[in-house]
């Protein structure tokens, strides 16, 4: 199992290019199940979750052709096996996103209940309730979701909670349903909008994406299209935090702050000088960061996927910060690992109180989930001495070639096999 070895205490400096967004790419690739015509994608990130999903689509009969460094063509014309087996699904929660498209196009689907990061309960009941409202017959047996429908019918769906994958799954299913579907309490994340833009380019009729009410007029069929995946806002925020924690100065390319207002605001509150361009972000860190308190909430509020990274920068900031996690009930597992580096963190339920220390010291730590891994990388970069991060397969699920990108910014980091 790979590890990451980091010699910390070096201020990051230079330019790095941000990859396409994992959380946008996964549902968009599943949209290929909705059409018998080829779909061409660009700005695709090279990540383990993407590879897993492509294997899953391939065993369903979808043609997969890589083009260039970040291009891909998916051809759903040969779709013949509407099954998502456990061995391909167990490591990736996003695999549930094949359920809606398979049911809408094939009239049936058999999808294993998904796995993924151990950050708390993330039930799929909202997906099931929504599809049942559209006329699907669904049972859950022996760890699999069995769904059938002659043709889905448009319906009014109000989810009990804001769910990104639930919104995406139901939106894709509704594209081929008969009549109008209205999704209320819909997720507003930019990745939902990116999926909607892709579906519209395929011939779908969608309005309201980016608001809490999305309307979909079902059509008979969807056609092929081309789509560029949006830049990864969480990768962007992670590199900004890494530069801030190390007292560095960086320029991030092929990205935008348009979806990062809450993150940029907090970094500026911490004392960072940030200049924005149309497709680049420049950050210069102060000699010592100031602590910033935050509360996670659904978009456009502060993203839960950036909570761990900000805990890391608060560890070396001046002052005391309170972090309140409202999305997942088990997302402070990185705190005990940060404490191994010398951080002063006190956990009280879903609140963390972080008192900044003058310096962190390198140590051996273990990653527990994707974003926790990123927080340990940031802390390791800021710490004095060597930090070894174990179980970095989590990192490879969400960050493309992270050691190479950090090295371009001057970090001393290497992968240990």
Number of residues written out for the chain: 417
User: Among residues 117, 198, 272, 315, which one is catalytic?
Assistant: 117
Cross-strand partners of 146: 110, 139
Place of tokens 């530069």: 243
The answer to whether 224 and 202 have CB atoms below 8 angstroms apart is yes
DSSP state letter for 272:
-
Tokens of 352: 């963390």
CA 280 to chain centre: 20
Query: With contact defined as beta carbons under 8 Å apart, do 158 and 185 qualify?
Result: yes
Helix (H, G, I), strand (E, B) or coil at 374: helix
The widest CA-to-CA distance across the chain, in whole angstroms, is 64
Here the tokens at position 380 are 């390791």
Q: What is the DSSP string of 191-245?
A: HHHHHHHHHHHTT-EEE-BTBSEEEEE--S-B--EEEEPPB-HHHHHHHHHHHHH
The answer to whether 134 touches 113, Cβ cutoff 8 Å, is no
> 402: Cβ–Cβ under 8 A, 6 or more apart, which residues?
4, 377, 395
Structure tokens at 55: 């294997």
Terminal Cα-to-Cα distance of the chain (whole angstroms): 6
Assigned token pair, 261: 């207002």
User: Is there a catalytic annotation at residue 117?
Assistant: yes
Q: What gap in Å lies between CA 84 and CA 149, rounded to an integer?
A: 17
Beta strands in 218-350 (DSSP E): 225-228, 249-253, 273-276, 280-284, 294-295, 320-324, 344-348
| Contact status, residue 188 vs residue 212, Cβ threshold 8 Å | yes
Q: What residues are labeled active site?
A: 117
């Amino acid at each position: 199992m790979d590890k990451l070895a980091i010699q910390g205490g070096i201020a990051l400096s230079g330019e790095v290019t941000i990859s396409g967004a994992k959380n946008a790419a996964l549902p968009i690739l599943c949209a290929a199940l909705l059409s018998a015509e080829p779909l061409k994608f660009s700005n695709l990130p090279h990540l383990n979750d993407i590879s897993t999903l492509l294997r899953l689509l391939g065993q369903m009969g979808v043609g997969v052709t890589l083009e260039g460094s970040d291009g891909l063509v998916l051809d759903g014309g040969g779709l013949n096996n509407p099954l998502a087996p456990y061995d391909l699904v167990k490591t990736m929660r996003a695999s549930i996103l094949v359920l809606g498209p398979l049911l809408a196009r094939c009239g049936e689907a058999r999808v294993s209940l998904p796995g993924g990061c151990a950050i708390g309960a993330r039930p799929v009941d909202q997906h099931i309730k929504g599809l049942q409202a559209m006329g699907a017959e669904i049972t859950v047996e022996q760890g699999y979701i069995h769904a059938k429908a002659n043709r889905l019918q448009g319906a009014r769906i109000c989810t009990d909670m804001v769910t990104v994958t639930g919104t995406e799954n139901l939106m894709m299913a509704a594209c081929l349903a008969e009549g109008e579907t209205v999704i209320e309490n819909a997720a507003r994340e930019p990745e939902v909008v990116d999926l909607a833009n892709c579906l519209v380019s395929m011939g779908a009729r969608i309005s309201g994406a980016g608001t809490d009410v999305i309307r979909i007029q079902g059509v008979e069929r969807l056609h092929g299209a081309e789509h560029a995946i949006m830049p990864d806002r969480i990768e962007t925020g992670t590199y900004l935090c890494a530069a801030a924690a190390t007292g560095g100065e960086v320029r991030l390319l092929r990205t935008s702050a348009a979806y990062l207002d809450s993150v940029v605001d907090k970094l500026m509150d911490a004392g960072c000088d940030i200049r924005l361009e149309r497709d680049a972000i420049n950050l210069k860190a102060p000699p010592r960061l100031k602590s910033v308190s935050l509360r996670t909430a659904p978009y456009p509020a502060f993203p839960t996927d950036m909570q761990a990274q900000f805990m890391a920068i608060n560890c070396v900031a001046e002052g005391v910060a309170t972090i309140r996690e409202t999305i997942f009930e088990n997302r402070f597992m990185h705190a005990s690992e940060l404490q191994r580096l010398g951080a002063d963190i006190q956990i009280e339920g879903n609140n963390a109180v972080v008192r900044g220390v003058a310096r962190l010291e390198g140590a051996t730590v273990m990653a527990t989930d994707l974003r926790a891994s990123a927080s340990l990388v940031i802390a390791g970069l800021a710490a004095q001495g060597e930090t070894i991060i174990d179980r970095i397969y989590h990192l490879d699920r969400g960050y493309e070639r992270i050691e190479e990108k950090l090295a371009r910014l001057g970090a001393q980091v290497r992968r240990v096999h």
